[in-house]
Amino acid sequence: MPSNNARIAKNTILLYFRQILILLVSLYTVRVVLETLGVEDYGIFNVVSGVVLLFAFLPAAMASATRRFLNFALGQNDMEQARNVYSVSLILHALIAALIILLAQTVGLWFFHTWLNIPSERQAAAFIVYQLSIMITAMGVLQVPYNATIIAYEKMSFFAALSLIEVLLRLGIVFLLPLILLDKLIAYAAFICIAVIVIFLVHKIYCNRTFKIARFRYCTDKNLFGRLLGFFTWSAFGEVANVSRVHGTNMLVNIFHGVTVNAAMGIATQVNAAVYQFLSSFQTVFNPQIIKLYSAKEYDHFMRLVFRTSKISFCLLLFFVLPLYINAEFVLRLWLGNAPEYTVAFIHLVLSSSLLMAIAGPLLVSIQATGDIKKYQLITSCLIFANLPLSLFFLWIGFSPVWVLITRIGLDALILVWQIFFLGRKIKLPVRRFFCEVVVPIFIIMGTTILTTVFIYNLFIGEWSKLIASCIISTITIACLMYCIGLNKQEKILFWNWIRTKLAAG
């Protein structure tokens, strides 16, 4: 376990700085793209690409299955089984990519022409963007087995290096876009497509040259196919619900309020995606270990790691969410100038949703580690699906579009409670202990930090001074409270042992 703790700490710090870079680039690129395309074209890009992403439940579900079975095999040190999982996943992802293309060119195309509220003069450009979005999605599907292999082997240094390539490609797109004389909306989608292909090729080449299991062979293990497909089927059910929640509600916003509000939702989604990538990176470090410990039947270490991941994920995300939440209006003016209506409210709500996901992420991975997800997915998916009829109801009776996201937060809170009690019955997760050691401390940390930061924030006058003060005060408060309240005695010992090791090595 000491080596695992050291590797987790190293990988967390590595991906932490990686995400700072990605966040800065994301904020800059969204501003330039919005200025270059304009609010209308930016809204069109988001809603059109969202149609294709309605089919994203297929690769997302298969990605969960691949990561679970690959990590489970590696946790048992079964290289033969790991290679079989890799080969089977390649076949299944190729089939999924073909199915997505078929659905997008039939059902998706019908929806595009029938329901989307796109100005007539931009219909042709929107159609080309739609076709490019299909290619982008298909390439993303084919990349999943390679990405899962890299994460399973915890090669986070390559993961971070690949992010640099991706960042440079996105910066290149931003710098090239204003120079293009052709339709800029089409050019932007084309550049994104090229970048996705490059990233896919880098993944493939690295995996094939680095990992022994990354050698395709035809696998005849029908039992493995069956277990993967069974896990995939129930994961797909959950992913269909997730897609309906994100992209389905985006379509409802488009139908009731048009592309301008879609642009506001798109900006909020970009902000949330950039911030959420921090959370995703932290949990990417922990997730393979959670599944491996469960497969190795080290249940005591498994529970401790789940608890620790929830606490650390929440607090690390709060570092970024709280200053951004408080200063959202000022940051938007600096970033975009005049943002579309509802942007600030949307950002506040999606950031709140991400904080709930920080707690829930390790619990979901723990459920997936068991391999038995049928009952969990049935109830969770029903709660997620409820976003669509509830959002439709609120929009239909004339409520503000912010109620779409308020509904999402309420249902996410119910799902979190369901996850905790499901694990309590499934794997004897100590529910009371989880609330006492995780939920209560992080809410004390959050509440105290908010009160302290807002009090000191209001003592300052200038917006820059308010921004700097809120960043400094919230960071210090969260760090101190996390150490005093968030960490137990054993975790404090691990923390200081790691510090001493680094100082001795330096």
In terms of pLDDT, which residue wins out, 506 or 274? 274
pLDDT of residue 472: 92
pLDDT of residue 446: 92
- pLDDT of 91 above 90: no
3-state SS of 235-264 is HHHHHHHHHHHHHHHHHHHHHHHCHHHHHH
pLDDT of residue 269: 76
- pLDDT of 113 above 60: yes
**How does pLDDT run across 259-298, given as a tens digit for each residue?**
778 788 878 877 777 776 777 777 777 788 888 888 888 8
Do 291 and 72 contact (CB within 8 A), yes or no? Answer: yes
pLDDT of residue 10: 63
Distances (CA, A) of 228 to 217, 224, 232: 17, 6, 6
Whether the full predicted model's pTM is greater than 0.85, yes or no, is: no
Looking at residues 332-341, what average pLDDT do you find? 79
pLDDT of residue 473: 92
Domain boundaries, the chain: 2-429, 430-506
**How does pLDDT run across 454-476, given as a tens digit for each residue?**
998 888 888 899 989 999 999 99
pLDDT of residue 335: 76
pLDDT of residue 1: 44
**Chain-wide mean pLDDT for the chain?**
82
